[in-house]
Amino acid sequence: MMVCAEPGAQLITYALGSCIAVVVYDPAVRLGGLLHFQLPESKGFEQQSRDNPYKFGDAGIPAMMERMYEAGAERNRLVVGIFGGASMLHDESVFQIGVRNARTSKKMLWQGALFLKHEDIGGTSNRTVSLDIDTGHIRMKKDGQFVEF
């Protein structure tokens, strides 16, 4: 997880499979945040969650948003996107980590009164996602193709 307002900076996360990237940007103060989390819920992983809340969607999203607000972001200006949540295993009928990660993302954002503007989740492809701090442009690479948001 990173929150950044440094001119010229880019926040990037690579090879999202079932993981989720939550990208948040406040254009008024050119402040961005990017969280790459692995698991939907911290329940049963309390010690790991205390050590690294950003590993879990239910702990990481609120923690990142707290850092964003402390750095000067305002909820009503935020542009929010989620990416990832793919099914990377041949038989995910039991765990469905990608699906559960996507659901947790939406639930936590809704609880924080944050609304999605950009979304590319599901499928079977990994993704690389970047956020340009100067412009707020989000760039995603999936299946060898680049998409800009």
What distance lies between CA 26 and its chain's CA centroid? 15
Strand partners, 121: 84
At 93, phi and psi to the nearest 5?
-65, -25
| Rounded (10°) angle between helices 97-111 and 57-70 | 40
Phi, psi of 144 (to 5 degrees): 80, 0
Q: 19 catalytic, yes or no?
A: yes
Catalytic residue among 19, 39, 61, 109: 19
Supply the residues annotated as catalytic. Answer: 19
